[in-house]
Amino acid sequence: GKYKIIALDCGMKFNIIRCLAKANATVKVVPWDYDFSEEDCDGIFLSNGPGDPELMSIPVNNLKKAIARENPIPIFGICMGHQLLAMAAGAKTYKMKFGNRGMNQPVIDMRTNRCYITPQNHGYAVDVDTLPEDWCPLFYNGNDYSNEGISHKSKPFFSVQFHPEAMGGPPDTYFLFDEFINRIANK
């Protein structure tokens, strides 16, 4: 493919690789504890995965180095990757009472006020009140109003709590892979 993407595997679903490859990317999948911070690539993808993000200090520390680069590389995270990016930015996460699970979670895009139906399976969330000033919320959950996405205000970093790769689930937010590739192409 035209673009070289490092994909951090925290429990990644195979369809994510398909989505990135379909977008003209060569994907190098690396384990969760791999130091990608100085890797020569066009983009960094942070995958989904199970568990408590507070136990993932190695990838958070690597992300801190990656987002501090002088010439930042676009970063896109989903699910656990969303929580890791938020923590690297300085935000906190918390354990939800029940979590958001299922194939029909409504998510509101704060840029457009449009609602998307998303697949989700997580028990932790990003505390949006702890986001640093140079980050902003991108999506929120239409049921419990928990954070569903963040974006840096000037750098090409963003992440979402849900699963835009749509395996399983609705393909409503597949466009986020295109948004990631566009950030790479326009950097």
Selected catalytic residue, list 10, 82, 148, 165: 165
DSSP structure string for 3-45? EEEEEEESS--HHHHHHHHHTTEEEEEEETT---TT---SEEE
Selected catalytic residue, list 19, 79, 148, 152: 79
- Is residue 165 among the annotated active site residues? yes
Edge to edge, the sheet with strand 135-141 lists: 25-31, 3-9, 43-46, 75-78, 157-160, 147-152, 135-141, 92-109, 115-127
- Is residue 163 among the annotated active site residues? yes
- Is residue 10 among the annotated active site residues? no
The catalytic site residues sit at: 79, 163, 165
